[in-house]
Amino acid sequence: MRILVVEDDAGIASGLCSNLQQRGYAVDVCDSVASAWSALRAEHFDAVLLDLGLPDGDGSELLRRLRLIAPATGSAIVTLPDPSTPVLIVTARDQVHQRIAGLDQGADDYLTKPFDVDELDARLRALLRRSAGRASPTIRYGEIEADPAARTVRLSGQLIDMSPREFSVLLVLLEARGRVLSRQQIEERLYNWQSSIDSNAIEVHIHHLRRKLGSQCILTMRGVGYFMPWDSAP
């Protein structure tokens, strides 16, 4: 899953980026309202971690602009910026009225600094779960059970050995089951701006997943992309 961190404190941004990457997220960092808005207009992010005190304005202005965009209707193509992108405010402003204001302006959650990274990760997983329309913390698909918190996969109850990147590819496809994702769409969810991507990396991960979970768990629509059929989900 790809996260945009909007934070002007280089130390905090670096720590967040490092910790989240260790937990399997692809992370990009912006340090201003303007650069974050440009990023949101250019690329899809699964969630935004938003500081409020930014050098060129208040983070709430970015949130306001994002939520004011009219959602696209009658099209399967997601327009950018996506107004439904989950936003978690991460700020030193800890007064009750400030937290209420942030939530009323459209934030999905609000966390004050200093914070525990484990709590941040748990809140982020909850946002992503709700954004995907899931109530359960685990994802079941036929005999496959994926646990995003533990980053584990079981097949018919048996724990499956899986690399971090394989798990990330599987999670993207599970969350999008029933929809075909192109290689580029999968890459955009897994890699940040600094990543170097081998041309056949996604194909290799798909091959490994099929070998471990069954050849029919991930199907190919030739010339378009990959998908997990919706009707195998419980």
Q: Which residues contact 164 (CB under 8 A, 6 or more apart)?
A: 24, 151
Task: Give the predicted TM-score (pTM) of the model.
Answer: 0.84
Percentage of the chain beyond pLDDT 70 is 94
Q: How far apart are CA 12 and CA 8, in angstroms?
A: 8
pLDDT in tens, 72-128: 655 455 567 899 999 999 999 999 999 999 999 999 999 999 999 999 999 999 999
DSSP letter (8 states) at residue 230: G
Q: Choose between 71 and 4: higher pLDDT.
A: 4
Name which of 165-174, 193-202, 210-219 the model is least confident about: 193-202
Residues 201-207 have a mean pLDDT of: 94
Domains located in the chain, CATH noted? 2-131 (3.40.50.2300), 139-232 (1.10.10.10)
- Going by pLDDT thresholds of 50, 70 and 90, the confidence category of residue 234 is very low
pLDDT of residue 199: 76
pLDDT of residue 78: 58
The region that residue 24 occupies, defined by phi over 0 for left and psi between -120 and 50 for alpha, beta otherwise, is: left
- Going by pLDDT thresholds of 50, 70 and 90, the confidence category of residue 71 is low
Asked if 144 contacts 217 with a C-beta cutoff of 8 angstroms, the reply is yes
pLDDT of residue 77: 55
- Cα 203 from chain centroid (whole Å): 21
Name which of 50-64, 111-125, 191-205 the model is least confident about: 191-205
Token pair recorded at residue 60: 């709430």
Residues 197-201 have a mean pLDDT of: 80
Q: Are strands 87-91 and 109-112 parallel, antiparallel or unpaired?
A: parallel
Closest of 136, 209, 221, 215 to residue 175, by C-alpha: 136
pLDDT in tens, 128-176: 999 888 888 999 999 999 999 999 999 999 999 999 999 999 999 999 9
SS3 (DSSP) at 153:
strand
DSSP per residue, 6-66: E-S-HHHHHHHHHHHHHTT-EEEEE-SHHHHHHHHHHS--SEEEE-SEETTEEHHHHHHHH
- C-alpha to C-alpha distances, 98 to 49, 176, 209, nearest whole angstrom: 17, 35, 46
Token pair recorded at residue 95: 């007064």
pLDDT of residue 134: 85
pLDDT of residue 93: 96
